[in-house]
A and B are shown apart, each in its own frame.
Chain A
């Protein structure tokens, strides 16, 4: 804009002490130089030189006039530049002061707008941080993007795996496979391995409380981290000759050695041997990419690390070469694994018809499709919330701009430039956005705290989620853009009218400018529609949650715990094993507070054995087409302890061929028939129906058969008789077959280490120690580990739905509140604008009902349009939820109608309050007021 100062004559500038312009500075310098030369010329003439000599001498003593002029020009530019900056700063400070004053004058508007934007920004920052932590940058190591875990999919061996882990879950490969991968694979720069030690024993046979793990020397290098102190392992330390070195964790360093630097070189004991400490792991270092599952063995961060070669480890990691994708690495790993098949002699550890599936998994791959879906839905929902928040803010800004149009007109009339007005409005909007941003950060931090508390086990990585700086920048930018866009647009509207027009236009005419009104109406309709969609989503999830919670479990999980008990081989293989088991059960039952104890795993936590099942029908043996069955090893008291009803028949009794202790030495004489199931078994109701649709399955004979004839262990599996039918047990939310078919068998020669279930009246706080002591009272060489709590399993099954519902519900609620506030503000404003008109109507005899109908009509129209659009959006969008819903359709009409009623009621209420106020308008006041 033209600098008004320049136009004034110098005397006026001097009078007002205005700063000189550039030209003036140069002209002054010229004049000074001229005066100087003239004065010296006179002086020299007075001293006796001739006029021409005097002039020449005067010039000579001055120096180079050209150079002096250049100096003057430079100085002028420099000085004026400083002045201009000063002017801009002063103007800008003035803008900010004005903006603050205006915002303070309308505190409700300011507060609501700020809160609206802050909620949008805060929620978005929180969810984006979650997405970032889980999907975009999940590994906290420098090489994080290129690190993959080397896994096999599905069971590689016929050995049992806990049924609570899905059959397609990634598992650790056998050690020799890891070694072959390390040797032959070309996709990786490095392959490292870790072997956690789940059971360290001290020399006296007791369980060690210090946790240990083995790692290859290149583990730290692969991850790209350095030890906190000392050094890592050298490759030659993996060999037996040199491997008596160790590294300790930072936690252990502080706990056991006080964090002193002289810990390097100190000795440390493990299983009777001595190791020398050579380094300390970085703080918080743990086994990377361990997925937490209930029922899996969980290990806290190891305290002591020891070196091991790759062929003695089973958790493998690879550092992808640059440019190599995880998918191509997966293909290579699978090829190597299956090529390994040929030439393996002797008895295979798995059925050869299904080849080994390998997978190079990035950290983000550990999330199941369902979990990724969950996160995506939440991300979309929070984006919708941001849209609504921005729309609301825009609405409010437009309203305010319209209400200030006369003020703008006056300013224009007084000579403020249009640009200046726009700048003023923009400053307001930017200020609002910045304050909203700051508040948004606080909201985001609190939201993350809630998210961390509610998180399901599958999203356990969220434990250390924090706000990413990138997120703040991004959402801050969005809020500034919104503010600028609508604040600026509003200012342009306000400033572009003919001044006279504006001053003339009174409230007499229609309530607001046509364009702004249409824009605002569209915004509100959009808000209603989007809120409706969010609410429908939340409603569907709520119904699913209720369905899940009411699932019949089939057992009683309250105060039921389980514990694994391991015995040393002599005790386990010997003939006294059943005596030991009875002793343990008795000892557990004697613990104060225990009402019952039995051998067996928790219900639904049995083992999945990859064998087919054959049933004897009158027409001959028939393979049952059951996808998989879960086998649980129990004793007679187990059903009672677990609270599972026996619907028919009885508890199985031990048969003579069930447990035949193997005599030492080579087999003499015929081996007893290999049993996979005890002589008498129990199956669940679902299974029984499958076996005998029309009749009673009791009395049927059943046995296992390997999946493919001719492979696997010798199939001289003997027949078992079904003697009882138990109630179905299930965890809420199991979509697949994994829990449907259950076989309960008594203890056998070949069974995994037994687990015991214990029912308490209330679970004591130190339950694991209490149980461990009881086990050791039965026999001091027994080891107890892996406490399981039945209530945790149930809660964890509900957790994903609870998590999604909680967040989506919160977003939907906030969205509705914002929408209603925006609607109320709009209609209230409209009413206040039309006071004059309403006054006339009342004076002319309109009934109060007619007046309120007039006002309500607006709200009703908006609500109807919003609901219609919302129904369409919701119908399309809720399809995305279907994998998370239980017992309810994505387009469930009842939910849609209920939410529609809710939204309609609330929006009508929001319109009704201003309507009531309209009715109470005093016609005399209204007519008088302008």
Chain B
């Protein structure tokens, strides 16, 4: 799939978000915590970028957003994967793995 730097970043972030939501619906804060813990903060993802990714995915129909109540009864917007989103996640994971394998094989040629 053709990508430039910005697309690459967006695509990776979208992938992470989809994977996170595969674990279950969560609101934006929970999502940022989830990603933070799994990546040990090493990717340096800015939170506003995360919300933009959520908007993108909502507009393209991969995730569904709904206002609900958080654990401490505060209003929060919950996101969940749609059927289309699940399919998209599967495809993107496969692409990503393929991409990594190809680049790795080139790099290891030396």
Contact = CB atoms under 8 A, between A and B. Distances in A.
Contacts of B77: 28, 32
B35 to A, nearest CB: 12
A35 B74 CA distance: 8
Interface stretch (A36-44, A216-224, A461-469, A886-894): A36-44
B99 interface: no
B28 A61 contact: no
B48 A68 contact: yes
Nearest to B27: A35
Contacts of B33: 43
Nearest to A10: B67
Given A31-B75, A35-B75, A35-B76, A62 B48 contact: yes
A62 B55 contact: no
Contacts of A36: 28-29, 32, 47, 51
A41 to B, nearest CB: 11
B83 interface: no
Interface residues of A, number: 21
A62 B47 contact: yes
B48 A75 contact: no
A67 interface: yes
Contact of A75 (B55, B67, B75, B76): B55
Interface in A40-85: 40, 43, 61-65, 67-68, 71, 75, 79
B74 A65 contact: no
A103 interface: no
Interface in B24-82: 27-29, 32-33, 46-49, 51-52, 55, 59, 67, 70, 74-77
Contacts of B46: 61-63
Contacts of A14: 67
Contacts of A75: 55, 59
Interface string A1-31: 0000000000000100000000000001101
A804 to B, nearest CB: 67
A65 B48 contact: yes
Nearest to B66: A14
Contacts of B59: 75, 79
A35 B67 CA distance: 12
A71 B59 CA distance: 14
Nearest to B52: A71
A33 interface: yes
A333 B74 CA distance: 98
A47 to B, nearest CB: 11
B29 A33 contact: no
Contacts of B67: 14, 28
A876 B2 CA distance: 77
Contacts of A43: 33
A67 to B, nearest CB: 7
B29 A40 contact: yes
Contacts of A64: 48
Nearest to A33: B51
A542 to B, nearest CB: 72
A14 B27 CA distance: 19
A553 B49 CA distance: 99
A926 B70 CA distance: 72
Interface string A766-783: 000000000000000000
Interface in A852-887: none
Interface majority SS on A: helix, strand, loop or mixed?
A: helix
A61 B29 CA distance: 12
A784 to B, nearest CB: 78
A697 B59 CA distance: 106
A61 B47 CA distance: 6
A63 B49 contact: yes
Contacts of B48: 62-65, 67-68, 71
A32 B28 contact: yes
B55 A32 contact: no
Contacts of B76: 32, 35
A71 B53 CA distance: 11
B29 to A, nearest CB: 4
A33 B49 CA distance: 12
A31 B28 CA distance: 11
Interface centre among A35, A36, A67, A68 (most CB of B within 10 A): A36
Contacts of B70: 35
Contacts of A71: 48, 52, 55
Given A63-B48, A64-B48, A65-B48, A35 B55 contact: no
A332 to B, nearest CB: 67
Contacts of A31: 75
Nearest to B44: A61
A791 B47 CA distance: 97
Nearest to A69: B48
Nearest to A78: B59
Nearest to A25: B55
Interface in B73-107: 74-77
A65 B47 CA distance: 10
Interface in B10-32: 27-29, 32
Given A28-B77, A61-B46, A39 B29 contact: yes
Contacts of A29: 51
A84 to B, nearest CB: 16
Nearest to A64: B48
A36 B31 CA distance: 10
Interface string A507-534: 0000000000000000000000000000
A79 B46 CA distance: 24
B29 A35 contact: yes
Contacts of A62: 46-48
Contacts of A65: 48
A241 to B, nearest CB: 65
A61 B51 CA distance: 13
Contacts of A68: 48, 51-52
A746 B32 CA distance: 119
Contacts of B47: 36, 40, 61-63
Contacts of A67: 48
B6 to A, nearest CB: 14
A364 to B, nearest CB: 59
A65 B75 CA distance: 20
Nearest to B76: A35
A453 B108 CA distance: 82
B51 to A, nearest CB: 7
B74 A32 contact: no
Interface string A636-663: 0000000000000000000000000000
A387 B75 CA distance: 68
A79 to B, nearest CB: 7
A837 B12 CA distance: 82
Nearest to A82: B59
B42 to A, nearest CB: 14
Contacts of B75: 31, 35
A71 B70 CA distance: 25
A710 B33 CA distance: 122
Contacts of A33: 51
Contacts of B52: 68, 71
A36 B49 CA distance: 13
A67 B76 CA distance: 21
A589 to B, nearest CB: 90
Given A36-B51, A61-B46, A75-B55, 13 more contacts: A31-B75, A32-B28, A32-B51, A32-B77, A35-B70, A40-B47, A43-B33, A61-B47, A62-B48, A64-B48, A68-B48, A68-B52, A79-B59
Interface of B: 27-29, 32-33, 46-49, 51-52, 55, 59, 67, 70, 74-77
In the A-B complex, the 5 residue pairs with the closest CB atoms: A63-B48, A63-B46, A39-B29, A68-B48, A62-B47
17 contacts: A28-B67, A32-B28, A32-B51, A35-B28, A35-B29, A35-B74, A35-B75, A36-B29, A39-B29, A40-B32, A43-B33, A62-B48, A63-B48, A68-B48, A68-B52, A71-B48, A79-B59
Interface of A: 14, 28-29, 31-33, 35-36, 39-40, 43, 61-65, 67-68, 71, 75, 79
